[in-house]
Amino acid sequence: VDYTEGQGWHDARIIPYQPLTLDPSAMVFHYGQTVFEGMKAYKTAAGDITLFRPERNFARLNASNARLCIPAMDEALALQALKELVKLDESWIPTAENTSLYIRPFIIATEPYLGVSPSKNYQFIIIMSPVGSYYAEGINPVKILVEKQYVRAVAGGTGEAKTGGNYASSLKAQELASQQGYAQTLWLDGRENEYIEEVGSMNIFFKINGTVITPALNGSILPGITRDSMIQVLQHKGIPVEERRISITEIIEAHQNGTLEESFGTGTAAVISPIGELKFGDHQYVINNGQIGEVSQLLYDTLTGIQYGKIDDPFGWRVIV
C-alpha cells in the first residue's frame, strides 16, 4: 500500500516477492523513519488458520506511527489485507509442531529528500516466512547477559515504538553477549542503570516467593502483546501477578535468599522462553537449577494451546482466518 501526501493510503495490492526500487535519497535510509510489527499465523489440527490478537499488532503499529510522525493506517483494512495474503496459499503455513508463518508488516519513508523532517511518502508492506523455534535451545532455558554499559532506550525516546532505531542501538551489546555465549541482552533503565526494562526481543517476568512480577510499562519498554496476554492468563489462573518497577538489586537479593523461583521472557517469536541463567558483572545467577519452571510451562502450554487451537480460548484471542 502506498501513501502519498494529499492522496492518503492507496493502491493496496498483492505482488510476488521481489526487490524494491527506491531512490538513494529515500528518507528511510538516512533518518530511520520506519516502523514494523511481528506476528504469526498458525495451522490447527482441524486445518484452520489462526492469528493471535492481530488487532493489537495494528493498534501498536499506529502507536509507533504516531511516535515516528508516520500517517496512521486503517487498522481494519490492514487486518483484512493480512487475512487475504495469508489465505493465498495455505502451503506456506508449516504444520510440524511449533512451526508457524512469521508475518512482518512494516512501513518505510520513501520520499527522496535529504533533510530531517517527516517524509511525504511511504510504503506499507507485509512479508511472510515459515519459522520454527526462535532459540536453538527450543523451549529449554536460555542464558541472558545483563547489560551494564549500553542502553537500548531512555524516557522520552522511542523505546515504546517498534522502530528500527531501537534495534540498531542494541546491536553492539547483542554482539558482545553472543560472543560470551549468551542468547540475548537484558536491558536496564538508561538513567540509574538499576531498573529492569526488557530483553532484546522479549518482555521479562520473574517469579519471586510465589508472585510473578514484570516491569511496568514506562514509555521506554515495548508493550508486548504476549506480555499483556500472559498477565491476563496469570490473573485468570489465580496466580498473583504484579506490574511494577523492579531493580536488578532486588533480583540478586531474591536469588541470594532463595526466593527467585523462575524467570522467563515473552514474545511473538520467542513464545515463552524460560531463563536459566542471568549474568551480571562477574556473577552468574542460575535460576531454578537451569530447568523450566512450573509457571513458564503452564503459560507456554496455555499460549500455544490457544494459538494452535488445542484448548478453549476464554479470552477470545484466536482469530480464524
What grid cell was written down for 196? 529492569
Q: Nearer Cβ to ligand PMP, position 109 or 225?
A: 225
Contacts for 15 with CB less than 8 Å, ≥ 6 apart: none
Calculate the dihedral angle through the C-alpha atoms of 217, 221, 222, 227, rounding to the nearest 10 degrees.
Answer: -50
Residue 158 interacts with ligand PMP (CB under 6 A): yes or no = no
Question: Among 276, 285, 271, 264, which residue's Cα sits nearest to residue 141?
Answer: 276
Beta bridge mates, 2 = 10, 123
Query: Which residues pair with residue 280 across a beta bridge?
Result: 283
From the CB of 23, what's the least distance to ligand PMP, in Å? 29
Q: Looking only at residues 30 through 89 of this chain, which bind ligand PMP when binding is defined by CB under 6 A?
A: 38
The answer to whether residue 203 forms part of the interface with ligand PMP (CB under 6 A) is yes
12 vs 154, which CB is nearer to ligand PMP?
154
Residue 303 touching ligand PMP (CB under 6 A): no
Query: E-assigned strands of the chain?
Result: 2-4, 8-10, 34-36, 39-43, 49-52, 100-109, 121-131, 142-146, 184-188, 196-199, 203-208, 211-214, 241-243, 260-267, 271-280, 283-286, 318-320
Residue 167 beta carbon to ligand PMP: minimum distance, rounded to whole angstroms: 7
Q: Verify binding: residue 128, ligand PMP, rule CB under 6 A.
A: no
> Could you say whether residue 222 binds ligand PMP (CB under 6 A)?
yes
Q: What share of the chain is helix, strand, coil (3-state, %, to 5)?
A: 25, 30, 45
Name the minimum Å distance from CB 74 to ligand PMP. Answer: 21
Q: Which stretch binds ligand PMP (CB under 6 A): 83-91, 196-204, 205-213, 284-292?
A: 196-204
Determine whether 247 is exposed, middle or buried from the number of CB atoms within 10 Å of its CB (0-12, 13-18, 19+): middle
**Residue 197, interface with ligand PMP (CB under 6 A)?**
no
| Residue 227 contacts ligand PMP per CB under 6 A | yes
Between residues 272 and 295, which has the closer beta carbon with respect to ligand PMP? 272
Q: DSSP string of 261-311? A: EEEEEEETTTEEEEEEEEEETTEEEE-GGGS--HHHHHHHHHHHHHHTTSS
Nearer to ligand PMP, 79 or 202 (CB): 202
Per CB under 6 A, does 119 bind ligand PMP? no
Site for ligand PMP in 251-280 (CB under 6 A): 266-268
Minimum distance, C-beta of residue 200 to ligand PMP, in the bound complex (Å):
6
Contact 224, 203 (CB under 8 A): yes
Beta strand 241-243 pairing with 211-214: parallel
Count residues binding ligand PMP (CB under 6 A).
Answer: 13
Task: Give the nearer residue to ligand PMP in terms of CB position, either 121 or 184.
Answer: 184
- Taking the complex as a whole, the smallest distance from the CB of residue 198 to ligand PMP amounts, in Å, to 5
Nearer to ligand PMP, 60 or 255 (CB): 60
Between 105 and 224, whose beta carbon lies closer to ligand PMP? Answer: 224
CB atoms within 10 A of CB 265: 29
Contacting ligand PMP (CB under 6 A), which of 196, 202, 208, 234? 202
Interface residues toward ligand PMP, by CB under 6 A? 38, 198, 201-203, 222, 224-227, 266-268
